[in-house]
Structure 1
């Protein structure tokens, strides 16, 4: 069993929403460090790689539908380098937190995970709320600041500060997450 889970949050995005242009510009900056982190996780037995993605209100969508829509969306170059392999753990969420109304906590407990590494988008929304939910469930939280994307830079920085101060999250760079 792994003691660490790398959570990739909301990166399966078709970029067809009001904040898409601003967000995509910031996501472009995190793709390389995040892809490196995913590659490292795939090669290790002590790390579980789990994608948690918004279903965008489509409650009939299967994970494969979300992956396909993202790869065929407006910014496939942001999705291809981090796309899940066949057989990867992919679950859908309906709100901001990766834990809200999902089986994530149950899965992490079954896998005996004690630490979550939160990556993806959006720092001041889904990453922040997922960090809080992980913290209240007694997981250690780590956030690589170069593997999370924001819409608003000020709010993104404030969210990282809140996670560090209020949730004891370790804020690091991607290269320091899985030494």
Structure 2
């Protein structure tokens, strides 16, 4: 077994628990709907293999909120159909974030070290913002990064393609599909 094959992975779902009531939501919704089946498949694969699933989600400026409240608000919103299929299960972990990167002032680095994770599979939204910045922060923390290209959503397709190229070239991210991402 190679070092890569023995490495512990975690799937991180970025900002998919959403009410979609922000400024660019109408531009994001088509890409989110397109990415949803791949995110569902990725989560199914991870859960079948007991790979940790971590939700890193925006708190929408609600500083007293916790993951249950964020989930409830998203499920009560008009786009609950985008949240229900990927709702966290009882084994899922949850990190609340306030900025673009999943690492910025969150306990994620510590959590990953406690789990022994050396490889993160990043899915969710937005490819050209939160996924990109999170991939960079993972890379500088010496984590191996995989991005399933069919399991990320964007607002601007051209920027998303550029972000994916940057992740692959500058951060050594492995670009795969949800079906072929190594867990």
Structure 2 unaligned spans of 5+: 1-5
Pair 1:129-2:133 in alignment: yes
Gaps of 5+ in 1: none
Partners of 2:8 and 2:130 in 1: CA distance: 23
Q: Which residue of 2 aligns with 1:44?
A: 49
Structure 1 residues 122 and 165: CA distance shift in structure 2, 3 A: same
Taking the aligned partners of 2:21 and 2:113, their CA distance within structure 1 comes to: 34
1:104 aligns with 2:108: yes
TM-score for both structures, normalised by structure 2:
0.94
| 1:74 to partner: Cα distance | 2.0
1:7 has 2:12 as partner: yes
For residue 152 of structure 1, report the CA deviation from its aligned partner: 0.2
Map residues 1-179 of structure 1 onto 2, 5 A cutoff. Answer: 3-45=8-50, 47-178=51-182
| RMSD across aligned positions (CA) | 1.3
**How many residues were matched structurally?**
178
Contact 1:30 1:146 in 2 (8 A): yes
Structure-2 separation of matches of 1:165 and 1:108: 24
Contact 2:122 2:148 survives alignment (8 Å): yes
